[in-house]
Structures are given as structure tokens and as C-alpha cells.
Amino acid sequence: METYFIIIVGVLFLLAISDLIVGVSNDAVNFLNSALGSKVAPFTVIMAIAGAGVLVGAVFSNGMMEVARKGIFNPDQFAFSEIMILFLAVMLTDILLLDFFNTVSLPTSTTVSIVFELLGSAVAIATWKLVRLGEATSNLAGYINTNRAVLIITGIFLSVIIAFSVGMIVMRIVRLAFSFNLKKSSRYWSGLWGGFAITAILYFLLIKGAKGSSLVSPELLSTLKEHTFRILLISFAGWTIIFQILASFTKVNILKITVLVGTFALAMAFAGNDMVNFIGVPLAGFESYKAFAASGADAGGFMMESLIEPVKTPIYFLIIAGLVMVVTLRFSKKSRSVTETEINLGRQSEGSERFASSALARFIVRRSMEFSNRMAKVVPKSANSFINARFDETRNPDFDQKQAFDLVRASVNLVVASILIAIGTSLKLPLSTTYVTFMVAMGTSLADGAWGRESAVYRVTGVLTVIGGWFFTAVIAFFASFIIASFLFFGKLPAMLIMIALSIYVLLRTHAFHRKKSEEKNRLQDGELITTSSNVLNSCNNKVVTIVVKVSKILYLSYNSFFKEKFKEMKGMRKETKHLSKEIKEIIENIPVTLRKFEEKELENGHHYVQVVAYMKEMSNSLMHIVQPAYNHLDNNHPLDKEQADTLKNFNEKSSEFFNFLINILKNKSFDSIDELVQRRDEMINMANDILLNRIKILKKTQKGVKISVTYMEMLSESKSLFLNAVKLVKADALLQESLGKSRIDIELDIMD
């Protein structure tokens, strides 16, 4: 039996390493989004500063599982055998849950997840224990501290509302001072704002960082608290004077210093306080095993009163954990995906949006616009003009389009988040650092004018999705840990092995899924690396070839799957068609960004580029209207007409030959063969017309096969449209390539044929 518990301890430590990896991937958004979004420094420099903060914070950590110490459950009510199952269920659930959120690139709270996993597991073990003892389940209250869970839920609501509101108000005030013309305003405001920002970050470190440090003695902590106001006053005055001198007489960018220091501070506080969410449970399990081994008692009868006392952590555990976090921070692609979600929701520029519009978002935006219009009528016109001028982002000539937002907003994000977290900690409110930092960033985005009418509904939908995910975290964490704990409680060692194998499988699958999604995203974002119109035109032909190859493949396989009645393959083709449509949608949404790279004299080239993209979209639409009817026909188990099967198979083969010829023209840029391509197109259209005519004759003669007739007509009609748009695409691409300076091509682009 003791071997069984040794295995559990070993598994807990392995899970601790995995949890550190997935946990850092999720929480990196808390301290990286401002630095990465504002491009304050090269990526390696930002990561080095954040990594240093994480490592220092890990060493200064008190190494205690805060939520367990404060009594999510009462450990003295559980036997050693029960507590170990509880801890194992928590860790298995935590890894799977956080990995899921990382995979879908949504930030969530590790604190809330660990709390509700502890709560769910404790409720499960306590319930089955009461059932086994024959006691009433009403005695469950003696095992669980429900007040703590209610307090945390209340903290979630408070942190969401307060952080968003305060971030919005402070950003409005700071932007009025700085405006977007930073070159001019920085000389007047950098010193004052820099002094305030560094002082706020110092306050954050004193309250949030020192409180959780095992290297800070109680006497020193008491002294810091006693003289906090004096320390902050001296800091504000000193830093303000220093920064104002630097801003007035040197070229030192005070805002950059503020953002980098804030990044270090948040990273340090994260590691010093949130690291216990990842290693606290395994360490508590290790301490439980040591107490059990020393007692010599029976595992089912040894009660865990020892866990009531704080569990101290050896320094080497903290250093190892810190190093794992630093390495993960540097190399984890999932952490960058989670960070990108917040940055994209708050970016200043327009472009492709990750989230679609929702009814609730549209309602919120519409009502907000109505309120804004009413307020504009109340405020004097002169005041409105002044405010609009201060928030005119075009007045910042030095703004880099690669930035999601400027250094002013980045510094506000860090300062407001630091102050709110520090105040919440001092008042012992269970604020989540993830919730605070995210909602502050969203509040500053709204106040800074990043959510314009073109993007507001999509950004609001994104924020609502993330917030919904937070509450989903609590619910799913509770029920998932309840189920896993119950399974382990009754299944013992076999159940543990099954859960470990399942966890490994799920982690590998999600890793493969995320890698595939990242590769697709990188392909879609290749255009962002293009910096000149010449490069745009040169890359366009390759893009066209790629799209046409995909269209040709999907068309051929769709007809083939339809003839052979292979529903699974047809379902795959419908999925591929949707991916293609999404890929082209990304290209369309980035057209304005692409066109800005054309010079005034090259606007005609831009017109050709727009035509190329438009015909790709038309081809995608036609393809969807071919695949969807075929899918519906097979999904409804309708019969096929074998009488025309051979004719349609021949049509499919000829279609493949047509697209192979077209692709060869595009690859070799042999546009002198366009006349032959048009001739082949006309042959394919005539062939489709003949098949449609025969279909009508068969329908009139037999009065049967209505469903298959409708499906054939839809597929063939859209196939004709596909051939027409394919030729138009080649012509448009030929005109685009001509603009590169090649010999003139005599092409008539008949838009309406």
C-alpha cells in the first residue's frame, strides 16, 4: 500500500512540472501583453526581463499553497489515503483544463481553477466518505469551507467591473494629457507620469511582492507597512525630478523605462504569488506523505491535521520551479498565442478580427453609441473639438504600424493593474491577476479609441467570450475534478494509470492541434512580412496558385466522394472548403493594409490586386455551393442516379484536366495560353449544359429522382460559375503581373461574363 502512495507522490511532482509549463503559458499574458503589444524592446530583451522577474519572484516565493492554507476544505477531516486522491485529482484536472484554454488561446485564472478543483475534489471525496459511513450528506459543511468559494466568485465580479472601469477612466485622463503627439507632450508629462508610474509599481511590489516572500522577515515587513506612505512620497518626488531632467535634457524615453520596469514587477509578483497554484498541491502531497511515513499509522486512519499548519518549501524546489517557468516562457508557443488574443483585442489598428459579431455585442455597441451621441450634445462643441483632437491617432507621425498600441497605453495598463492588485491584496480581497490585467487592458483600449465602429462589435464579442470562459473555468473545474476524484476514489491504482494515460494522450493531441493551427496562422500572416508593392505583386501569383490548387483538389475529391457515397470523406471536403473560405476572408480583410504599401502612381496595380482577391472569393463561394448540396444529399441518405454516374465521372475528370492546365499557366506565367484556356472553359460549360439537359429529359420521362435532380443542377450550375471565375482570376493575375514591368499582355478582363 505504501508503494501506491509513493507512486502518487512521484506522479504529483511530474504533474507539477507539467502544470508549471501549462500554467506559465496561460499566465504569461498577465505581464507580457503591454511590452509585446507596444514593441517597447526587441522580443529577446522583453523575454529576458520577464524571465528575470519570474526567477527572482520564484526565489522570493513563500512556497505555500495559499488557497489550501486559507481553508477551501478542512484537511483534518480527511484521512491520508483520501487527501492523496484529492490532490491527484486536482492536478490532473488542472493540467487538462489549463491546456485546453491555452490551445484555444484564451486567458483564464489559475487561481480560480485551482480553487474550484480543490472544491470539486473535496466535495467528491467527502460525499463518498459520508455515504460509506452511512452519514447524512448534510454533514458536508463540516468538510468544506463554502464561504471561501463564495468570496472568490464575488471577487471575480468585482475585479471584472472595477478593473475595466478604472482602466478606462485613467486612460482617458492620461491620453488627454499626452495626446497621440508623444514627441511634443513627452517633454511636459513624462517626468510626472514616470514618477507616478514607478511609485505605483513600487507600491505594488511592497504590498504584493514582499508579503509573499520568505526572505523578508516579519519585522522588515512590518516596518515597510508602517512607513509605506513616506516611502511612496519620497519615491514619487525623487523619480519625478530625475525623469523630468532626463526628458528635458536627454533623449532617454521615460515611457520605455516605465513599461520595462512594470513588466519585471508583474512577472516577479506572478512567480512569487501565483507559482503556488502550480506546485502547492504536489508540495502539500509530499508533506502529507512525510507526516504519514513518520507516524507509522494506517493510511485510512491517519488524519491530516498537519496540513493546517503552513507548508514551507525548500529553496531548491523554488529555484527549479523558477527555471522551468523561465524556459517555458521563452519557448512556449501557446503562451504567445494566449498573449496575442489580448493584444489583438486591444490593438489600435483595424484588420482581421478573430471573433465574430454576436447579438449581445451588437446590442451593447448600439446602446453605447446612443449614449455617446446624447453626451456629445450636452458637452460644449469647443470641449468636444479639444477632446477629439487629443484622441486623434493620426497626429502621432512616429507611430509604428507594427505596434498594437503605443507606450502611453502600455504604461497605463501596467500602472493601473499594479495598483488594483496591490489594493486588493492589502484588503485581502481574492482578486485574480489574470482578470485584473485583462480587464484593465480592455478598459484602456475602449478609452483610447481602439474600438472604432468598424471593430467594436468584434472586440466586445471577444471580451464577452473571454469573460464567459472565466466562469466556464469555475464550473468545469468543479465538475471535472469531482468526476476524476470519484473515479480515483473507487478505481485506485488502475484508475490512476488510466487517467495518466488519458492525460498524456490529450496533451499530445492538443499540442498537435495547436501546432497545426499555428502553421495555418503563419501562412495567413505571411503577407505581414511584405513591405513594398513590388513584393506584394511578386507574392500574389504564388498565393493565387495555392488557392487554385486547393480549389481543384476539393472539387475533384468532392465529386468523387459523392459518386462513391462516402459521407465521411465528403464531410472532410466541406471542412476543407470552410477553411479555404476563412483563408480568403483573411486576405480580404487585410486588403486595406496591403493597399497602403502601394505608392500613388501604383494605384492601378492595387486595383488589379483587389480584382484577383475578389475572384478568389467568388471561386470559394462557388465551391461551397457545390460541396454543400452534395453533403446534404449524402447526409439525408438520398439515392444516386447510376444512369448518369459515368457521364458525371467523365465531367469530373475533364474538370481536373482543365484546372491542371490553368495551374500550369499560373505557375509558368505562360499567359499567352489564355485563349486556349478560354476555349477549354467553354467546352466545360457546354459539357455541363448537356448533362443538365439530359437530366431534365430523365426527370420528365420518369417523374422520379427529384432530389438527385436538384442536387445535380445545383452542383453543375455552380461548377459553371467556378470555371468562369477561374478564367477571370487568371486574366486578373496576368494584368497584375504585367504591372511588374513585363511586356504588355493583350487581355480583356470581362467582369460581367
| 528-549 confidence digits (pLDDT tens) | 444 455 566 666 767 888 889 9
> Domain limits at 733?
527-738
251 and 390 in a single domain? The answer is: yes
- Looking at per-residue confidence, does 338 or 480 come out higher? 480
Q: Is 544 inside a domain boundary?
A: yes
Q: Which single residue is written with the C-alpha cell 467523365?
A: 650
Res 312: pLDDT: 63
Question: What band does 659 get if pLDDT is binned at 50, 70 and 90?
Answer: very high
What is the torsional sign of CA 444, 450, 453, 454?
Answer: negative
What is the 8-class DSSP label of residue 637? T
Q: How far is CA 726 from CA 3, 162, 605, 662, 719, in A?
A: 68, 54, 20, 8, 10
Q: Is 521 inside a domain boundary?
A: no
What is the 8-class DSSP label of residue 79? B
CA distance 589 to 566: 35
Task: CATH number of the domain at 677, please.
Answer: 1.20.58.220
CA distance 732 to 747: 9
CA distance 5 to 81: 8
Q: Which single residue is written with the C-alpha cell 480587464?
A: 439
CA distance 5 to 730: 69
Average pLDDT value for the chain: 79
Domain tally, the chain:
2
187 and 234 in a single domain? The answer is: yes
349 and 373 in a single domain? The answer is: yes
198 and 312 in a single domain? The answer is: yes
CA angle 643, 649, 650 (to 5 degrees): 105
Residue 740: partners with Cβ closer than 8 Å, 6 or more residues away? 534, 537, 538
Question: What band does 77 get if pLDDT is binned at 50, 70 and 90?
Answer: confident
Answer whether residue 153 shows pLDDT above 80.
no
CA distance 96 to 210: 32
CA distance 395 to 662: 48
Which region, left, alpha or beta, applies to residue 135 given φ > 0 means left and ψ of -120 to 50 means alpha?
Answer: beta
| 91-119: pLDDT as tens digits | 888 888 877 877 776 767 777 788 888 88
CA distance 273 to 65: 9
Domain end (from 511, 542, 562): 511
Q: Is 312 inside a domain boundary?
A: yes
Strand runs labelled E in 310-426 = none
CA distance 467 to 525: 27
- Looking at per-residue confidence, does 682 or 369 come out higher? 682
H/E stretch holding 292: helix 276-295
CA distance 406 to 387: 18
Res 621: pLDDT: 92
Of 182, 206, 245, the closest CA to residue 38 belongs to: 182
Res 268: pLDDT: 78
| 640-649: pLDDT as tens digits | 776 667 788 8
437 and 566 in a single domain? The answer is: no
Q: What is the DSSP string of 591-619?
A: HHHHHTTS-GGGHHHHHHHHHHHHHHHHH
Paired with 61 in beta bridges are 213
CA distance 253 to 179: 16
Least confident piece of the model among 231-240, 463-472, 671-680? 463-472
Other beta carbons within 10 angstroms of residue 427's beta carbon come to 8
Of 674, 536, 525, the closest CA to residue 605 belongs to: 536
483 and 625 in a single domain? The answer is: no
Q: Which single residue is written with the C-alpha cell 508610474?
A: 197
Q: Is 557 inside a domain boundary?
A: yes
270 and 326 in a single domain? The answer is: yes
Q: Is 206 inside a domain boundary?
A: yes
462 and 536 in a single domain? The answer is: no
| Percent of the chain with pLDDT strictly greater than 70 | 80
CA distance 476 to 551: 40
CA distance 250 to 242: 11
- Looking at per-residue confidence, does 534 or 19 come out higher? 19
Check if the beta carbon of residue 551 is closer than 8 Å to that of residue 623.
yes
- Looking at per-residue confidence, does 332 or 372 come out higher? 372
Check if the beta carbon of residue 288 is closer than 8 Å to that of residue 304.
yes
Question: What band does 743 get if pLDDT is binned at 50, 70 and 90?
Answer: very low
C-alpha distance across the termini of the chain, in Å: 80
Q: Is 22 inside a domain boundary?
A: yes
Res 396: pLDDT: 60
**Length reported for the chain:** 753
Of 28, 727, 730, the closest CA to residue 337 belongs to: 28
371 and 482 in a single domain? The answer is: yes
546 and 491 in a single domain? The answer is: no
Which region, left, alpha or beta, applies to residue 302 given φ > 0 means left and ψ of -120 to 50 means alpha?
Answer: beta
CA distance 144 to 535: 64
Q: Is 752 inside a domain boundary?
A: no
Res 238: pLDDT: 92
548 and 429 in a single domain? The answer is: no
Domain end (from 451, 482, 511): 511
Q: Is 56 inside a domain boundary?
A: yes
Composition of the chain by helix, strand, coil, percent to 5:
80, 0, 20
Res 746: pLDDT: 46
Other beta carbons within 10 angstroms of residue 63's beta carbon come to 23
CA distance 335 to 24: 7
622 and 705 in a single domain? The answer is: yes
Domain end (from 484, 511, 538): 511
